[in-house]
Amino acid sequence: MPTVINLPALGESVSEGTVVRWLKAVGDTVAFEEPLLEVATDKVDTEIPSPVAGRIVEITVGEDQTVPVGAQLGLIAAEGDGSTEASPGPAPEALSAVAPEGDVKSAAAGGRPVGTFVTPLVRRLAAEHGIDLDTVEGTGMNGRVRKQDVLDVVARRQVDHRHRPDQASPTPGAVIAPASGRSPVVAAEAPEPPRLPAPVSPETPELALGEGRRERLTPRRKVIAARMVESLQTSAQLTSVVEVDVTSIYRQREAVKERFAAQHGAGLSYLPFFAKAALEGLREYPILNASIDMAAGEVIYHGHEHLAIAVDTPGGLLTPVIRNAGDLTVTGLARNIADLADRARTNRISPDELSGGTFTLTNTGSRGSLFDTPIINQPQAAILGTGAVVKRVTVIDDPELGETIAVRRMVYLALSYDHRLVDGADAARYLTWVAARLEGGSIQL
């Protein structure tokens, strides 16, 4: 009997997942725990491994489809099962059972073998533009046709039309001269003029060909978009900014960073210093490490500092959490930040590590931004943004020289806070305390 590929539980708060892409096609042989497909949830993107060694005999859920945890994604005939023996090719009746809406491409002259997987999105896009998928050169795995391959064909058609506006369309049945290395193609019935998919709403004008393109929002981007809007609609948000002289931190870091990297296997950036000062400040001003329950009319003061760190990943923003971060040293924070950031960027973070934060730190300066106005990570009361550390000529009070001009390392700290709970004076006091901590000299590693 074939083994079922199920969508596994991916965290306590995860109830469903969306198939991003299949890494294997029907008929492919796979090893035990070899990645089969990528799935996106509202927390993370992850690869689903094969539960057994064998051959894929059915793909039940196509790309861009969302299913609940536990749903069947496909079937694998395990090694030793007679059904894994290769056959000349599935019959037409079998193709309809592999995936819905004709997701498995049939064999045709000049096309790929029977069984090559094509998503419903790609098939619909090709149909809308009158494109025969058997004439499209796929750039995906095993020659699979991707959405971008179809869009490239549409773009080439438009270019050809612009360069040869006076030439009539080929007569149905006529042989079209192929590009180098390609087989001749017989023209099908004349399709409608090329057009992009219909606009998503009446207010969104349809793009003319050559002016741009449409891409479907990824599941993670949909979640990010919804939560950002929800945050702004939930709380009254303001941002306060201070400028901080971190020359002392700069000198401390320069003196130990090479030895630190060799000893701990992680770089020593400014971020763990900022994190340490910010966490110490939360204990001085606990209103910044709180949440408001409007329904109950209560303020929840958290008894711990669970620090969420904003991480820029290829798939979008993630905020993994360092639990009990207030108890850690700069060294401990540096190691935890490096570990979480690496696993978040390589899809090895667990969903449970992305929840439970009580305060968030976002390092917008890592990409050169001087400062930002970050949006609060609900239901937290505040988020601290750290800008780029830059050299700036400034006036300082020297004990011997008095006021003098010097080159200093400066940074902006931007605190966005929930004005329902935190007053501007509270925010200013917190920022001033953190700034003084950073400017005051050495912070113990």
**For 354-389, what is each residue's pLDDT tens digit?**
889 999 999 998 888 999 999 999 999 999 999 999
Verify that 349 and 428 share a domain, yes or no: yes
Q: What is the pLDDT of residue 93?
A: 33
298/368 same-domain check: yes
Is residue 444 one of the residues assigned to a domain?
no
Query: Tokens at residue 438, please?
Result: 């950073």
For 413-422, what is the mean pLDDT?
A: 96
pLDDT score of 140 more than 80: no
430 in any annotated domain: yes
pLDDT band at 41 (very low <50, low <70, confident <90, very high): confident
Percent of the chain with pLDDT over 70: 77
Instruction: Say whether both 153 and 263 belong to one domain.
Output: no
**In a shared domain, residues 153 and 44:** yes
The domain of 404 spans 221-439
- Of 168, 193, 217, the last residue of a domain is 217
Whether 376 and 237 have beta carbons less than 8 Å apart is answered as yes
Q: Report the alpha-carbon distance of residue 438 to residue 245 in Å, rounded.
A: 8
| Domain match, 74 and 170 both | yes
pLDDT at 96 over 70: no
Report if residue 37 sits inside a domain: yes
Q: For residue 141, tell me if it sits in a domain.
A: yes
Question: Domain for residue 268, yes or no?
Answer: yes
The distance of Cα 204 from the centroid of its chain, to the nearest Å, equals 25
Of the candidates 66, 40, 51, which has an alpha carbon nearest to the alpha carbon of residue 4?
Answer: 51
Whether residue 31 is contained in a domain is answered as yes
132 is catalytic: no
Q: What is d(CA 109, CA 183) in angstroms, rounded to the nearest whole number?
A: 9
Q: Which of the four pLDDT bands, split at 50, 70 and 90, describes residue 212?
A: confident
> Which of 217, 252, 278 is the last residue before a domain boundary?
217
Q: What number is the average pLDDT over the span 43-71?
A: 88
Q: Do 337 and 292 lie in a common domain?
A: yes
Beta strands in 358-441 (DSSP E): 359-362, 382-386, 390-398, 402-418
| Domain co-membership, 171 together with 235 | no
> Is the same domain home to 314 and 229?
yes
User: Which H or E element spans position 20?
Assistant: strand 16-22
Any idea what the CATH number is for the domain that residue 304 is in? 3.30.559.10
Q: Verify whether residue 419 is a known catalytic residue.
A: yes
User: Could you give the count of Cα atoms lying within 13 Å of 214 in the half-sphere of its Cβ?
Assistant: 16
User: Does a structural domain hold residue 445?
Assistant: no
Judge if 242 and 197 occupy the same domain: no
- Which is higher by pLDDT, 242 or 146? 242
Per-residue pLDDT, averaged over 397-402, amounts to 85
Whether 250 and 310 share a structural domain: yes
Q: Among residues 245, 327, 423, 426, which one is catalytic?
A: 423
Same domain? For 209 and 225 the reply is: no
Whole-number Å distance between alpha carbons of 119 and 97: 14
Regarding whether 350 and 277 lie in a shared domain, the answer is yes
CATH number of the domain within which 139 lies: 2.40.50.100
In the chain, how many domains are there? Answer: 2
Q: Which of 200, 217, 234 is the last residue of a domain?
A: 217
Taking a C-beta distance cutoff of 8 angstroms, is the pair 390, 246 a contact? no
The answer as to whether 148 is a domain residue is: yes
pLDDT in tens, 270-316: 999 999 999 999 999 999 999 999 989 999 999 999 999 999 988 88
- What pTM was computed for the model? 0.63
Query: By C-alpha distance, which of 284, 274, 234 is closest to 418?
Result: 234
